[in-house]
Amino acid sequence: MTAQAITAARVDIITATNVTFADAFQFGTPGDLSWNFTGQNFRMDLKSNKFTQSASLLSMTSGAGQIVVSDAINRILYFAVPEATFSGADIIPGEYDFDLVMYDTSNPVNRIALMYGKFKMVQGVSGG
């Protein structure tokens, strides 16, 4: 099976098992007001292999407060995912495939890929 290209930003993410995954991303060109995040929802799923695994190991969503719109007009999102969320989903140190999708409430739903890549979980050192 060959990889398919998608129109989204390739980003690789690294976080540790003992910290909250807290990172922010801005999408599009700063100053471009032709689109925004108003009325949008967001979902990022992790899979150990996007080609062979049908179900996600973990879904992070804006509805659950794990993906937060910091600035709808300038298209800034931040992640606030506690380490317990990863350990509860048995996300252990290793590399996972992910994509981040924006979707609205229209019928049919408009789904747009914003970002994809590798999500690397490394072993943390300091305890909590």
pLDDT digits (tens, 9 = 90+) for 19-65: 999 999 999 988 888 999 999 999 999 999 998 889 999 999 999 99
**Global pTM value:** 0.89
Beta strand 111-122 with 58-61: parallel, antiparallel or unpaired? unpaired
Give me 6's structure tokens. 């998608």
- Look at the alpha carbons of 37, 13, 101, 23 in this order and tell me if their dihedral is positive or negative: negative
pLDDT tens sequence across 9-21: 999 999 999 999 9
Tokens encoding 8: 């989204």
Domain spanning 9-27+38-122, CATH architecture:
Sandwich (2.60)
